[in-house]
Amino acid sequence: MTIYVTGHKSPDTDTIISSIATASLLQNKGMDAIPVKQGEINPETKFVLEKFNLDTPITKTELKDQDVAIVDTTDAEQLPDDINDANIVFIADHHKLGGLKTKTPIEFYGQPVGSSATIIYNIFKMENIEINKSVAGGMLCAILSDTVLFKSPTTTDFDKKAVEALSKIAGIEKPLDLGFEMLKVKSSIENDTAHDLLNRDFKEFSINGKKFGIAQIELIDASMAESKKPALLEEMKKVQQEKSFNTILLLITDVMKEGSEMLVVSDNITEIEKVFNIQCNETNCAWIDGMMSRKKQVLPVLEKKIS
Ligand code: MN
Ligand code: MN
């Protein structure tokens, strides 16, 4: 039976590449595996897939009764609605444990490293399976993307070692230069609508019974998004009302300054200000120095402090 390998909705480079790499891993072990996606790929991912001649995974959102391998999330909210009716056989993830349940014993790989691709790299190594050159190129990009060129506090030595080894396989002499090229692609947002930008990396969470949406845009320079802020706030308000979110946060991360502007739309903005120890300005926005990571610096704080 075919195993469909999928990551989360609003797929990022790590989710897409880890799906491709996991499918390749499972194929190497004699299984029939196909990478699939839960939404359109972003411009950075498109750049990476083209650079290394990798096929864009097909979209498959119905997984009921299928064998499924999951990468880069264990949150049901970030997977298709019928995920609990699927037969999950494999998980590799680097986030907090979500609420997924399985029917049978599964292969499960979790490590608090910078990207799921790092975990997949470690599995390849453990199983002594050679990584295909194109897949290796994609994987090193996924690691650089998720760790924001090793600047994110989620970065570990495992990520750096994996990039070093993968660069050799892929024949990339200066991986950080390639990472910077990716960042430039990601920073070209002139023609993107507020809707596109908000959805590029949008994740939904249930925190103490409240519905939160947290989005992130990473830019070489946060001021590149300045003119889009009013439209972004409008879009955030619209989504909050339409989908009954308690709060929607948008991090506009400045990779060079290593911090983020946080845009806040919330039923209780005072509570959010207290949680992050910030004071939002008249445009519902506050700069937070050193803020780079949703999973390490936003979610844990919300989980702890939202009542
Ligand atoms: Mn991801
Ligand atoms: Mn990831």
pLDDT tops 90 at residue 173: yes
Is 78 within 8 Å of 203 (Cβ atoms)? yes
Percent of the chain with pLDDT over 70: 100
Backbone torsions φ then ψ of 292, nearest 5 degrees: -125, -25
Sheet with strand 87-93: strands edge to edge: 58-59, 33-37, 3-6, 67-71, 87-93, 107-110
CATH ID of 3-185, from 3.90.79.10, 3.90.1640.10, 1.50.10.20, 3.40.50.720:
3.90.1640.10
- For the segment 29-63, what is each residue's pLDDT rounded down to a tens digit? 999 999 999 999 999 999 999 999 999 999 999 99
Strands 210-219 vs 247-254: parallel, antiparallel or unpaired: parallel
Backbone torsions φ then ψ of 290, nearest 5 degrees: 80, -5
pLDDT tops 90 at residue 99: no
| pTM score | 0.93
Nearest ligand, CA 113 = 2
Crossing angle of helices 175-187 and 133-146, in 10° steps, is 60
- CA distances 13 to 131, 278, 300, Å, are 18, 31, 23
Q: Which residues surround ligand 2, an ion (CB under 5 A)?
A: 14, 72, 115-116, 146
Q: How far is the CA of 155 from the centre of ligand 2 (A)?
A: 11
pLDDT tops 90 at residue 227: yes
**Separation of alpha carbons 246 and 271, rounded Å:** 11
- For the segment 206-226, what is each residue's pLDDT rounded down to a tens digit? 999 999 999 999 999 999 999
Is 8 within 8 Å of 15 (Cβ atoms)? yes
Q: Which DSSP state fits 104?
A: S
**Separation of alpha carbons 190 and 188, rounded Å:** 6
- For the segment 124-153, what is each residue's pLDDT rounded down to a tens digit? 999 999 999 999 999 999 999 999 999 999
Looking at residue 216, what is its pLDDT?
Answer: 97
Q: Select from 159, 298, 115, 282 the least CA-distant residue to 216.
A: 298
Nearest ligand, CA 7 = 1
Sheet with strand 247-254: strands edge to edge: 202-207, 210-219, 247-254, 259-266, 285-289
**Separation of alpha carbons 298 and 132, rounded Å:** 36
- For the segment 245-304, what is each residue's pLDDT rounded down to a tens digit? 999 999 999 999 999 999 999 999 999 999 999 999 988 999 999 999 999 999 999 999
Q: Which DSSP state fits 224?
A: G
Looking at residue 110, what is its pLDDT?
Answer: 97
Q: How far is the CA of 202 from the centre of ligand 1 (A)?
A: 10
Q: How far is the CA of 151 from the centre of ligand 2 (A)?
A: 15
Nearest ligand, CA 16 = 1
pLDDT tops 90 at residue 233: yes
Percent of the chain with pLDDT over 90: 98
Q: How far is the CA of 113 from the centre of ligand 2 (A)?
A: 9
Instruction: Please name every residue paired with 119 in a beta bridge, in sequence order, or none if there are none.
Output: none
Looking at residue 18, what is its pLDDT?
Answer: 98
- Write out the E strands in the chain: 3-6, 33-37, 58-59, 67-71, 87-93, 107-110, 202-207, 210-219, 247-254, 259-266, 285-289
263 by DSSP, 3-state: which?
strand
Looking at residue 260, what is its pLDDT?
Answer: 97
Residue 92 has which token pair?
Answer: 């590799």
Average pLDDT, the chain: 96
CA 62 to chain centre: 21
Which sequence spans correspond to the domains of the chain? 3-185, 194-305
**What is the CATH number that goes with domain 194-305?**
3.10.310.20
pLDDT tops 90 at residue 307: no
**Separation of alpha carbons 219 and 209, rounded Å:** 32
